[in-house]
Structure 1
Amino acid sequence: MKSSAEWSTRWPERISYGLSDAADNLIFQMMTTYLLFFYTDVYGLTPSAVAILFVVARVADVVESFIIGIMIDHTHSRFGKSRPFFLWYSVPYVAFAILTFVTPNFSYGGKLIWAYVTYLGLGFLYTAVNLPITSILPTMSQNTRELTLLGVIRQFFGSSVQIIVAVFTLPLVWLFGHGNQQMGFLGTIIVFGIISLFLIINTFVHVRERFSNPHIAHQPVKVVLNMLAHNQPWIIMSIVIFMYWLVTAIKNQTTIYYFKYTLGNEGLVPWANGFTLAALIGVLMIIRLTDHQSKKKTMLHGILIALTGQAIIAAGVYGKWLLVLFAGVFINSIGNGIIIGLVSIMIADTIRYGASMGIQAEGILASTDDFGVNFGLGIGGLITAGLFHVSGYVANQSQNAATLSMINWNYVWIPLVIYAGMYLVLSLYDEQRIIDAIEK
């Protein structure tokens, strides 16, 4: 491993790079954790209408991820290929985030149209500022250990903010709204949005693209797609990312419903989410673990830890042991920290593998990250909202037995199955192929 003096980046740049994910997560976690609840219990949309909206949005986001990837790969500017996107799209991104939580006094149809316009716009702009975080990584350094460090720093800040949003959103909603959740959610997203804007601009100012080969950097889309079909590690990672965000969406969206309707204590949500702080332990473990074993093996261990934690959550739910449930959340979060902390690092490896095949297409290859996020969240939202609709859920009322049973399935059993599937898929990942190709 090279000494730090030989590395390309310095700490101000590393911190600024990591803060880019913190900026996006301030808004993104509001979307994944509380938007379904906001739409059904605050804004007044039906679960079935929200389910359709989430499906439409995720289909649009899948297409948008690919489009943004192409835009990055065909960008020529004095700032590079990925870096300009932080500058160009940061203000519209924050503006649409705020508009998404505005509750105009329209008819039901008007409210639904407003939700479609703002949420679809937010989805496109989120991709425009988030995808470059992944695509710029392999251009910042050629040192594998340095790329791992940068990825860990990014996920440390991203996970920290994820926990901040999970723990402090509802208290902030109360602080700003004093019982009026419409005003509370709006005040909260305005604060998060202003902080996010500052952090995104900070990333643009301090981060640099250094390693790019102009001879292979702007390939035609047809050539890139042919390379993707032969990039087996990229295909495997795309599936793993999708499955991770699928299980994340299902669990996060169900958490508030579980504590509100099954346990009858919505005030426990910040406490439960507080135990996700353990994700930071998992993220920090990556540096030590990858010193002694491959990134693939490290992620497999992360999945097993997450699976174990999920099994403990099941014991807590069905044994009605709150402390056991919290212990399960803690252990599950350590595993999740390892998984998500390695995602951008291993995607960077697939980008470098693509370059070894003569094609530098970090934009399209990095789009798999946002593709997996959007597709996973979309299907997760569809499953959750769809099951709510089928089971007869009625907002702010005592729920029937079918709905309570469905909440338990979403919170416990479906995630268990997905974690097991994720382990099997990642087992097919051929990391040695990447190492041999890059060294050659």
Structure 2
Amino acid sequence: MNQPWQTAWPERISYGLSDAADNLVFQMMTTYLLFFYTDVYGLSTSAAAILFIVARLADVVESLIIGIMIDHTHSRFGKSRPFFLWYALPYVLFAVLTFVTPDFSANGKLIWAYVTYLGLGFFYTAVNLPITSILPALSQNEQELTLLGVIRQFFGSSVQIIVAVFTLPLVAFFGKGDQQRGFLLTIVLFGLISLALIWNTFFQVRERFSRPEQPHQSFKAVWGMLKQNQPWFILSTVILLYWLTTAIKNQTTIYYFKYLINQENLVPAVNAFTFAALIGVVLIVALAKHHGKKNTMLAGIAIAATGQLILACGSVGRWLPLIFGGTLINAVGNGLIIGLVSIMIADTIRYGTALGIQAEGILASTDDFGVNVGLGLGGLVTAGLFHLSGYVANHPQNVATQHMITLNYAWIPLALYAAMFIILLFYNERQLQTAIRQPH
């Protein structure tokens, strides 16, 4: 029998705002950091590509480290909750430092970029992974967990869209022609808001449900459980592909409009259509209740791919109505996909507990692993292909580079959606839910 609801609205809203806080900075990274590095900071595309892949390799290790730290944290505040208190300030400080352009030599600036970006990646994981790992501890009610996940994604998606739409206008407002100053003051504003929201989450949420009688096992025992937790492996792969798709497309948007459409000012306009993601997010509760989470996510992937196909057709002739319309439809599907991620990860955590192993930190790390690796590979693919095609910042691009920009913006994401759909077909939701509902 389902448990009664355990959270009240102030706690639900505060939980959701934690993702909003992280996305104030994260969306700057996914959408504008590559552009900042190449066209504002002054790195070459090859240097940026190598930086992204090094950072993401580091993040693979960091996600595991933070997951283990959560699993072995025993404090009066709980296991996941204290991470919001401990790591919010260094997260915001490194976010600001990442967008500082020091008056150094070329090598000095490259070193600065490595130190700040690697630090930002670590502290992002430290404040973001607990959002996922704490979810199963907030309630045991299936519908309530779904609602909490939807609230989280509603706020997270809202802020992603706000950042995508308003960043460049804010950069122009603060910089008054100086993009270095504009980007720095914009991230300072976002960082201060992020800090307040993360600390608010710490004070408002409570960890209620854990299984102290089931102590955390050795990593060897956890790895044995992971090998049996097929839903976790499948979901981890889908998450990785989703963020790879998102990184490639988001990072290329500004290049497409700057160099192919010759209207950089249209970037906020096309990003405004991603507000439609909220439609997908708010539909999750009803759709998942009647059709299951797997089928709802499959529908989201299909809708996103349809929108991407329309966008791709529009990109061939650079026809803006098709590009804008495809972006809108794609966003609805993306809302369904990303809104279900933390909810389904919570299911794999509970499934792991049913298998006899409590490892919410390590299992939750799949989300940050997917985000970090997807973001890094996306930056590598984008910057690497641009470099190979002869990209030169702030100059008209050759035909090969124009083709590469279109490939990244339109066609590679479409192929990745197809791969996501096929892989998710193997997700056995019935087996997972049956195991969770059995008494232990």
**Equivalents in 1 of 2:343, 2:38: separation in Å?**
37
Does the 8 A contact of 1:217 with 1:361 survive in 2?
Answer: no
Does the 8 A contact of 1:73 with 1:217 survive in 2?
Answer: no
- Aligned with residue 367 of structure 2, among 345, 366, 369: 369
Residue 382 (structure 2) pairs with residue 412 (structure 1):
no
Q: Which residue of 1 aligns with 2:358?
A: 360
Q: What is the deviation of 1:319?
A: 2.9
**Equivalents in 1 of 2:215, 2:65: separation in Å?**
17
What secondary structure does 1:292 align onto? helix
Q: Which residue of 1 aligns with 2:394?
A: 396
Task: Report % sequence identity.
Answer: 72
Does the 8 A contact of 1:353 with 1:438 survive in 2?
Answer: yes
Residue 243 (structure 2) pairs with residue 245 (structure 1):
yes
Does the 8 A contact of 1:90 with 1:197 survive in 2?
Answer: yes
1:144-293 mapped onto 2 (5 Å cutoff): 144-293=142-291
- Cα deviation digits, residues 226-249 of structure 1 (max 9, x gap): 100110000000000000000000
Q: What is the deviation of 1:147?
A: 0.3
Normalising by structure 2, we get a TM-score of: 0.99
Q: What is the deviation of 1:217?
A: 3.9
**Equivalents in 2 of 1:216, 1:19: separation in Å?**
31
Q: What is the deviation of 1:143?
A: 0.6
- Cα deviation digits, residues 122-155 of structure 1 (max 9, x gap): 0000000000000000010011100000000000
- Structure 2: runs of 5 or more not aligned: none
**Equivalents in 1 of 2:350, 2:311: separation in Å?**
39
**Equivalents in 2 of 1:344, 1:268: separation in Å?**
32
- Cα deviation digits, residues 69-121 of structure 1 (max 9, x gap): 00000001000100000000000000000000001000000000000000000
After superposing the two structures, state which structure 1 stretch, 117-126 or 310-319, moved more.
Answer: 310-319
Q: What is the deviation of 1:215?
A: 2.1
Does the 8 A contact of 2:161 with 2:271 survive in 1?
Answer: yes
Taking a change above 3 Å as real, the CA distance of residues 217 and 326 of structure 1, as seen in their structure-2 partners, is farther
Q: Which amino acid aligns with 1:15?
A: I
- Aligned with residue 314 of structure 1, among 309, 312, 315: 312
Q: Which residue of 1 aligns with 2:424?
A: 426
Any runs of at least 4 consecutive aligned residues in structure 1 with deviations exceeding 4 A, and if so which?
none
- Aligned with residue 70 of structure 2, among 63, 69, 72: 72
> How many residue pairs end up in the alignment?
438
- Structure 1: runs of 5 or more not aligned: none
Q: Which residue of 1 aligns with 2:37?
A: 39
- Cα deviation digits, residues 306-328 of structure 1 (max 9, x gap): 00000100121113321111000
Q: What is the deviation of 1:220?
A: 1.5
Does the 8 A contact of 2:300 with 2:332 survive in 1?
Answer: yes
Q: Which residue of 2 aligns with 1:385?
A: 383
Q: What is the deviation of 1:250?
A: 0.3
Does the 8 A contact of 2:244 with 2:374 survive in 1?
Answer: yes
Does the 8 A contact of 2:2 with 2:142 survive in 1?
Answer: no
**Equivalents in 2 of 1:262, 1:18: separation in Å?**
38
Q: What is the deviation of 1:219?
A: 1.7
Q: Which residue of 1 aligns with 2:80?
A: 82
**Equivalents in 2 of 1:245, 1:304: separation in Å?**
16
Q: Which residue of 2 aligns with 1:329?
A: 327
RMSD value, Cα: 0.9
